[in-house]
Structure 1
Amino acid sequence: MAARPAPAPVTEAVTEAVDVRRRRGVAGVAAKAAVYAYPVVLVVVAWEVVAGSGLFTPFTLPSPERVWDRARTAWEEGTLLEASRITLGRVLASFGLALAAGVPLGLLMGRVRTVRLMFRPVVSFLFPTPKVAVYPALVILFGLGTASKVAMGFAEAVFPVLLATTAASSRVEPSMVWSARGLGTSRAGVLVRVVLPAALPGILTGARIGLVGAISGVFVAELIVAADGLGHDMAVAYRTLATADMYVAVVMICAIGFVLDRLFLLARARLLAWTEEGPR
């Protein structure tokens, strides 16, 4: 027996509900895009106002239009894309190494007393040390190429990750650990299956700070001594008094940092979807 078609009012109500939901989805995406674009627009407008106010000469503070023209030329020539690719690769390598070293060691320091007693004095000594002060030693050890830049970024990034992981893992509820042990879970299994998920919000907070450290460390290292990268381009522009090109490097490293931070926050929301700190 053929099914009766839905009454017209019901069909219209369903269609209207779908349309409302679709419009809300589009409005939500537009609202998020506006939130992300707002700081960029604000900075550009403030820059344009200050550049046109006469407080600074066009040499010391070029207008956004002039910097954009230089950026477009460098992009068409391929030099800006290549420098950005090199710097971005070094940042990601530094950050990845910081996570690979900082998270496991932080878990052990937070949960194993012997490891904590062994490494706490070393971390307490190295953490407040200005990393730029040891960069000449890193250059001697690793050379003038990429390795010393990655080492500098790693030095800036690893301590926020390490300390945040240590603090977060040490505050995991003992009852959770006792329950897992009572069910026969090994100590290594407790670290991976209980402590790590419970400490993940704190770990990711330290990782976000570490990402900023990796960007700063790599860029400063390139600025001091390098043959390529955005920091090198900025140093060359500064020495040759090409201020517009210098601002191109500044804007590009800021854009890389902004995009990486937004991507990190999206990944964090996905990883913490099961917690109160997940997507809202």
Structure 2
Amino acid sequence: MMSGSTSIFSGFELPHDFGEVLPIENAAERFGEAMEVARQSAEAGVAIEAAPDHAAIFTDPPQLVAGPLKSVGYDLGWDTRCYPSPVDGCDYINVSARLDPKSPAYQQGWFRYVAVVHPVDEAASEQMLSQGYGNPFLHHLTLGVVPPERDGDDEFSYGGRVVRFMADARRRMADVIGDEPGTLIAALPSEVVGDARFAEESPRWVEGLSGSEFQFQVMQGGGYLVQYFVLTGGRIEVAMRSGTCQTFNPLSVDKISRDEISTVQDDGGGNADPLM
């Protein structure tokens, strides 16, 4: 069982029985960071969902994680997709598991989704294991941001409001946390990105951010998934999700894997050189 408190006044909670299901060496550290970020989010005025949006767990082989998740009630491969994840110059595959939000486990703080990430070849396996975090290890937790109400907005208007909302949340959370936030990655419905007004109006949605601090994408399958990391090294992330039909956006996974995260997390540095 995880030690210490795993719930806070805002209602955010993490599973008390996680260690009994998945005895992962670094889980207590990640849980502690997630609880602190949830507290700081409340301080910044950013409302967080009661349970995390997702966790990313690296494992070799996958059944070390997939089997225990199945026992909790997760639906492995629910979106019939896998997501190539080129981390540290090595090849990994991310297969998603989904938990029914109405399930008792979700009410106890189990994550809405889990990315079960496994190495494709020996080079990736050696890179993962060489970091000494254990096998499996909890790479990062992603807190869910409560999306703004639509209030009758059409798709384009709501898309603009969502991006401005998350850009503002990113700024406020950075002020409170004191760490340099990652890229604001906004995967939006094709109706928004394809709108004739998008090219002219979208720069105003991210006013104050440099071109390297944000990226717009079309969300595969529709819906909204806007995310950014708040702790360097890709340890804790926040994401706002609305109306998605799959766990991730492939373009977002590629961008995050290449530029935002690393299996080397002790010094907070991303983009570590692959093990030679």
TM-score range, shorter-chain basis?
under 0.3
For normalisation by structure 1, the TM-score amounts to: 0.24
Larger Rg, first or second structure (1 or 2): 1
For normalisation by structure 2, the TM-score amounts to: 0.25
